[in-house]
Structure 1
Amino acid sequence: MSDATPSLPLYNRSLLPESQRERVDVVLVSPRNPLNIGAVARAMANFGFTQLTVVAPYEPHWREARSAVGAPELLTNARETTSLAEAVRDCSLVLGTGTLTHRKAEQPVIRLDNLAPLAAEALGRGERIAVVFGPEKHGLTREDLSFCHHLIEIPTDPRQPSMNLGQAAAVCLYELATRVGPSPGKSSSPKDRTHPETKTEESKAVEKPAPTSGNLDILAGLIEDVMVAAKYSPATMQEANRHDLRLILRRLKLSAADHRRTLGLFRRILWRLKR
């Protein structure tokens, strides 16, 4: 008999590489029931995800949830933040989840089964991804979704469109863990095995990570300052304009270079206005 280490079971070989799973953040916004938080942690452990963030939890003792079977350390190591903006600050692709039954989406909507190519592209550029779940009673608010690049719609029967938090997390994480596959541009064909130093400047630019959510918020704050200085945004409209700016900047899909240029442009405009 061979002394070689047994290979992984076939059902584990198809999982997303661990190095990429570590760049997927699961974010729970204001969850109320610790048992649901534990169920999400268990689903994360099932598919090898480890990065959990809980935003403004309702129950202070959520880390003690008994439903986190096989994943107590995941709750212990989870990050807690006071705002969604802080939770997704380092992510370049933020994916909100929910149903369209009682809302009109303001951002592009993708069905869960069409998520894989989008996630593969972001992970292939070395970006962080956040998958955001809302409170059990009403889901993500319009304000929460303004921080999201896309809204993921989970296909469900119209007679029962909503899902339990743990179940919703499980099906989303299954899609990410098993269907993302190799990232675009990473195939093994001779054309794609070019030495890094011989790549063109254009291909290098394409591979650079997109601006993070935190970087977009910095730009949005600067544009808001310009709007106020130019007397374009009266006090009564500032909150609505702030919401719209977040949405617009995420729809534009700015490259890192375009983000820097736009920052420089608005800084110059603000300097001129304040003179």
Structure 2
Amino acid sequence: MLTEPQRERINVVLVSPRNPLNIGAVARAMANFGFTRMRVVNPYEPHWREARSAVGAPELLKGAQETASLAEAIRDCSLVLGTGTLTHRKAEQPVVPLDKLAPLVTESLGRGERIALVFGSEKHGLTREDLSYCHVLVEIPTDAQQPSMNLGQAAAVCLYDLATRSGPSITGSGIAEDRLDPASKTANASKPSPTSDNLDILSSLIEEVMVAAKYSPHTMQGANRHDLRLILRRMNLNAADSRRALGLFRRILRRLRIPQS
């Protein structure tokens, strides 16, 4: 079982939820398994904190953070877990079955990192843009005849798995090893990972370099930005390497901006 300090480092993030009753159901599931950190991104209803379905968790709802964007909600997290099924999407990041998630979470908690478990709206789940901020897509196994789950139920299933299968007792091979190549795994196993905000800063700087170098037309900048977010998260940089990369691209940008005689 996860300890209380470990559960405090796991944030449940709801992106554009539409129904306050579903938000309350998620809060109740969080309380059932000892999680307290909720972040709500751009909720559809302004009075979502008053959901009567949050039985046993009204204080959790009152203390939840509301943000205008997913980037803001996950800025301090070093492992961002998107959730969903593969029924109507082609994943652009590693896919982790829910029952194989524990080693990856345990490894991240062992480095003292914050984790975000992200759920999309009831209408369409996480968008392609949302998922570009995620290190992995956690696949919740469901029957092909009814692949989508109620938001509260999906949260309960995931939180039960995290609470009971992650922690110091989890050992052996698993997705934590599969996510990295052997050399990268050895180098990064005990080193802290950059936060999502750190990666976004690096991504923005690389984009500036690309613009200064006239890498691609203006119409491609949105696609480049999306691809950069994905690439940096798939690279599994440690925090020190992300700082080195930041310094490298700053020097390149300065040189590009020096007027040519």
Instruction: Calculate the TM-score normalised by the size of structure 2.
Output: 0.91
For residues 179-218 of structure 1, the aligned pairs below 5 Å read: 179-182=165-168, 206-218=189-201
2:141 maps to 155
- Secondary structure, in 3 states, of the residue corresponding to 1:113? helix
Paired position in structure 2 for 1:177: 163
Among all aligned residue pairs of Structure 1 and Structure 2, give the percentage whose two residues are the same amino acid.
Answer: 79
1:174-209, CA deviations, whole angstroms, 9 ceiling, x for partnerless residues?
A: 111000031679xxxxxxxxxxxxxxxxx9974231
Find the counterpart in structure 1 of residue 71 from structure 2.
85
Alignment correspondent of 2:34? 48
Distance 1:205 1:57 in 2: 36
1:201-236: CA deviations, max 9, x gaps?
xx9974231000000000000000000000003210
Instruction: State whether residues 93 and 136 of structure 2, in contact with CA within 8 Å, keep that contact through their aligned partners in structure 1.
Output: yes
Structure 1 distance, partners of 2:9, 2:147, is 29
**2:170, 2:100 → 1: CA distance?**
15
Instruction: Please tell me whether residue 18 in structure 1 is matched to residue 1 in structure 2.
Output: no
Secondary structure at 2:101's aligned position in 1?
helix
Alignment of 1:254 onto 2:240: no
Q: SS at the partner of 2:231? A: helix
1:29 and 1:150 mapped to 2: Cα distance?
A: 16
Q: Which runs of 5+ in 1 are unaligned?
A: 1-14, 186-202
CA–CA distance in 1 between the matches of 2:230 and 2:15?
Answer: 19
Whether the aligned pair in 1 keeps the contact of 2:102 and 2:170 (CA below 8 Å) is no
**Over aligned residues, Cα RMSD in angstroms?**
1.4
Matched residue count? 244
Q: Partners of 2:83 and 2:154 in 1: how far apart?
A: 9
Could you tell me how far apart the structure 1 residues matched to 2:158 and 2:216 are? 39
Query: In the alignment, is residue 140 of structure 1 matched against residue 126 of structure 2?
Result: yes
* Residue of 86, 92, 95 corresponding to 1:109: 95
Change (3 A) 1:204 1:106: closer
Q: Is the 8 A contact 2:205 2:250 kept in 1?
A: yes
Partner amino acid for 1:159? Q
Contact kept? 1:31, 1:37, Cα under 8 Å: yes
1:27 aligned to 2:13? Answer: yes
TM-score, normalised to structure 1's length? Answer: 0.87
Cα distance change on mapping 1:29 and 1:205 into 2, 3 Å: closer
Instruction: State which structure, 1 or 2, has the greater radius of gyration over its C-alpha atoms.
Output: 1
| Residue aligned with 1:132, SS | strand
